[in-house]
Chain A
Amino acid sequence: MHIDIAGKSIGHKPVLGRISLTLARGEVVALTGPSGIGKTTLARIIAGLEPCADSSIADAGRIGMVFQEPTLLPWRSIIDNICIATGCDAGAAREALENVELGDRADAFPTQLSLGQQRRIALARALAARPDTLILDEAFASLDEATAMRMRALTRRILEGAGFRTLLVTHNLNDAVELADRVLLLDGRPAEILVEHRLSAPRKTTGHRAELEAIRAKQQAASKS
């Protein structure tokens, strides 16, 4: 998938500058940067939710998205939520639920689940869509640390060896280093990709500190220039 954006303004305010990036099949790319910099705007443009006149998105294929909020239909059961959104059958929906360790909650309603469980359902829904491109927009935000850790571990297991490409949008550099193959740091006004860093050993539980230091060094160098 190749994304080329000449710029994006909201109202009269330029939010994004020129952005060009390519995601290979099976690759996990983390898009990180300070809150409010334009990460979600970029993710929404890729998902087709935000119009952008000067942009081209090639070979995105079918998109599965996990939003900042779970955005489940509270009046439908969990299994219906998955089937309605993705058009899959009940068997595939149950399989997706098993994948996020919530196979026993298929007939519950979203309001009966905790926020962490709702987030996992949102992930299951995105996976049930059999996406070519998976977009995870701040999927671990507003979770307590224990739940966020569990969600990260689950996401790591799902992303490892997945056949689809993943864009992980997060303001948390630790999450980016823990889960991605490649980290893109968005910064500036309007925002552009300031740093690109390929991890030497993706999704390993060790060596994060060295990767974080390398990214910060690149960020400082880029800021000076």
Chain B
Amino acid sequence: MASFIHQTTDGRTHDRSRLAKGLLSLLGFVALWGAASLWLADPDLLPSPVAVARVFWSETASGEMSLHMLATLARVIAAFVLAMSIGSVLGIVAGRKPGVDAWVSPWLIIFLNLPALVVIVLCYLWIGLTEVAAITAVAINKIPMIAVMMREGARALDPALGDMAQAFRIPRAARWRHVIVPQLAPHFAASGRAGFALIWKIVLVVEFLGRSNGVGFQIHLYFQLFDVARILAYAFGFIAIMLAVEYLVVQPWERSVTRWRRHAH
């Protein structure tokens, strides 16, 4: 017990030290940016962090920022749910059934190597400049990567635990919940994190090319107006949201599903 408390205290100290280093690293980034801005001395080309923060607050106060952020976030969530659902099912089935994998694998290679821009343009051409086309394009871009990551997870399932479940005739639903899903959890977390990080970037391209709202649309607008401060304000605003999702949703979920690891000797 004493050693467990000691480990927990050590863990908290380690977390605090990691957080402090992270914050210092972020401050270093802002300082470097400020120095580069001072050195260039051209606010149109590289505005200072303070100038971008001012623009961010003015866009937030006018309501423009939240309007476009929410539009982008809704697309990100819709594409993420669609890509995770289809990619996970495809990957798990391919990982557990070599026969299915033989059929699915070549398709995955084709779609993994298809440039995102080609998929987006084709979706807009074939489906039209609609929300469905935008979300489909993003999901198609992401599904192969999620499928490949989940396939590796399904291949790595412990056959001994499968035997145990079969020998004890554990019902199918309980087998998934207690035996299979916990083994896949790190792969869900990894593909979810990688998926989210890439999906929002692709959503911005989709909005850039064919939507009338969203962060990508705003960046397109301010690109034409050569307003670098606003481009950076929208980009960093959305990065802040993605960081919040990572720290408030993904990491707490990951901690809860890997809680048992911290009980080890």
Contacts and interface: CB of A to CB of B under 8 A. Distances in A.
A63 B161 CA distance: 16
Interface in B150-200: 160-161, 163-168, 170-171, 174, 178-179, 182
B197 to A, nearest CB: 26
B248 interface: no
Contacts of B179: 73
Interface residues of A, number: 25
Interface stretch (B51-59, B123-131, B133-141, B257-265): B257-265
Given A73-B179, A75-B182, A75-B260, A129 B163 contact: no
Contacts of A48: 166-167
A67 B166 CA distance: 12
Nearest to A49: B163
A111 B7 CA distance: 15
B260 A74 contact: yes
B260 A65 contact: no
B161 to A, nearest CB: 6
B167 A84 contact: no
Given A74-B260, A111-B260, A65 B178 contact: no
A63 B265 contact: no
A49 to B, nearest CB: 5
A111 B163 contact: no
Contacts, number: 58
Contact of B167 (A49, A74, A76): A49
Interface string B191-224: 0000000000000000000000000000000000
Nearest to A128: B168
Contacts of A73: 161, 178-179, 182
Contacts of A108: 263
Contacts of A111: 260-261, 263-265
Contacts of B265: 111-112
Given A76-B178, A84-B170, A84-B174, A112 B164 contact: no
B170 A49 contact: no
B256 to A, nearest CB: 11
A65 B182 contact: no
A67 B160 contact: yes
Interface centre among A67, A85, A86 (most CB of B within 10 A): A85
Contact of A85 (B160, B168, B257): B168
A56 to B, nearest CB: 19
Given A84-B174, A112-B265, A76 B260 contact: yes
Interface in B218-265: 257, 259-261, 263-265
A65 B261 CA distance: 26
Nearest to A63: B167
A69 B174 contact: no
A71 interface: yes
Given A63-B167, A111-B260, A111-B263, A71 B174 contact: no
A67 B163 contact: yes
A40 B160 CA distance: 13
A64 B164 CA distance: 10
Interface string A91-111: 000000000000000001101
A127 to B, nearest CB: 12
Given A67-B164, A67-B167, A111-B263, 12 more contacts: A44-B163, A49-B167, A67-B160, A71-B160, A71-B163, A74-B261, A75-B260, A85-B170, A87-B171, A109-B260, A111-B264, A112-B263
Interface of A: 44, 47-49, 63-65, 67, 69, 71, 73-76, 80, 84-87, 108-109, 111-112, 125, 129
The 6 closest A-B pairs by CB, nearest first: A111-B264, A109-B263, A75-B260, A71-B164, A85-B168, A65-B167
22 contacts: A47-B167, A48-B166, A49-B163, A49-B166, A49-B167, A65-B164, A67-B163, A67-B167, A71-B164, A73-B178, A73-B179, A74-B261, A75-B257, A80-B178, A84-B174, A85-B168, A87-B171, A108-B263, A109-B263, A109-B264, A111-B263, A111-B264
